[in-house]
Amino acid sequence: MKTSAIQIERNRPARRTGGGAPNIVIREACDRDGVVLGHLVASHDGTPDGLVAAARRATQRMFAAFADACNVNSRIIATDGSGRPRWSLSPNFALIEELAAE
């Protein structure tokens, strides 16, 4: 069984309201079989261009850290200013979808 290596950069502390860190992109690095290799985090400014730039930085670090990473199987999620997951980005950064509100 493969083991999971986790690489997390904490740009800002999580708020105590139950949300995660605000304004970050989280790249969940997975291999071709869907095994999670680790998580990479980059901060963004809340704009579409900022989301894409942060996702690109996290993706570059993902491939540098994990030789077995698969771009298509590795999810990209971004949080809003309150730390709640708000957007999903496609692996090629062409599509930003807003997640459904709870």
Locate the domains of the chain by residue range: 24-98
Q: What is the DSSP secondary structure assignment for residue 98, as one 8-state letter?
A: E
Please compute the mean of the pLDDT values over residues 11-36 and round it to a whole number: 78
What mean pLDDT is reported for the chain? 85
The predicted-structure confidence for 26-70, as pLDDT tens digits, reads as follows 999 999 999 999 999 999 999 999 999 999 999 999 999 999 999
pTM for the complete prediction? Answer: 0.79
Residue 89 has φ and ψ, to the nearest 5°, of: -110, 145
Please compute the mean of the pLDDT values over residues 71-96 and round it to a whole number: 96
Please compute the mean of the pLDDT values over residues 66-80 and round it to a whole number: 96
The residues, any chain, with a CB within 8 Å of residue 2's CB and separated by 6 or more, are 31, 35
- Separation CA 12–CA 35 (nearest Å): 27
Answer whether 75's CB lies under 8 Å from 41's CB.
no
- Separation CA 57–CA 53 (nearest Å): 6
Please compute the mean of the pLDDT values over residues 7-21 and round it to a whole number: 49
